[in-house]
Amino acid sequence: MAHGAEIASDRAGSGSACPVCALPSAHFLSVGGQDYFRCPTCGARFLDPAQHPTRDVERATYLRHENDPDDPGYRRFLAKLADPLSTRLSGPAQGLDYGCGPGPALAAILREAGHDVAVYDPFFAPDPAPLSRVYDFVTCTEVVEHFHHPARDFARLRDLVRPGGWLAIMTCFQTDDSRFVNWHYRMDPTHVVFYRDETFRHLADLWGWRCEIPVKDVVLMQRPGAQS
């Protein structure tokens, strides 16, 4: 474990409400002046909300990401979600890439497959018009770990999916507490919530949705009901 990190046992008075499921959580660890909590109900780990980065820090970090739609390596990375999602869509579908970033590569891949894909991003595609519709699928790749208010944001995503449609999420699942301190995902200053597969299964249970995890780091959640 890195110098300066302290794993703290759960103790009374040290908790914070889980931002994913709103239930009580407990102190997890402190490292580098940052405090993390864990939720015993949904399994999420999260940064103290008082220590979230500012919007300026977020934007500056996002601009350093290399998300070139023409990069073969990046396209292979996104195929981890695009391929299993595509097999669950019957014919051309209408979708939304939520949190598309400055280079909406996933939207381009899905358009090439014949789907009609709108985009939204609070920094790079802030037009709210796409948020007034419902879709056959909504994708969220490398986005949910940035949510400062995940319960609110997941409620929005849920409402964007029409009956029978899919919410497709990709984020690096947190699996090993002993490696958390030196985990590259934690070290990104804009990553504030860390999910386990059980977190998404918990959400699906709360919503009454079907939940599939075709590969690690990808979750497909289907809203009940027939598509129109």
State pLDDT tens for residues 188-225: 999 999 999 999 999 999 999 999 999 999 999 999 99
What is the end-to-end Cα distance of the chain in Å, rounded? Answer: 52
**DSSP letter, residue 53:** P
Backbone angle region of 70, left / alpha / beta, with phi > 0 → left and psi within -120 to 50 → alpha: alpha
pLDDT digits (tens, 9 = 90+) for 159-182: 999 999 999 999 999 999 999 999
Q: What is the pLDDT of residue 212?
A: 98
66 band by pLDDT with thresholds 50, 70 and 90: low
Q: List the domain boundaries for the chain.
A: 6-222
Whole-model pTM: value is: 0.91
Mean pLDDT of the chain: 91
Q: Which residue matches tokens 């804009």?
A: 190
Report the topology of domain 6-222: Rossmann fold (3.40.50)
SS3 at position 102: coil
Higher pLDDT, 90 or 209: 209
SS3 at position 82: helix
Q: What is the pLDDT of residue 65?
A: 72
Distances (CA, A) of 115 to 1, 203, 219: 46, 27, 20
Q: What is the pLDDT of residue 164?
A: 97
Joined together, the tokens standing for residue 219 give 């979750």
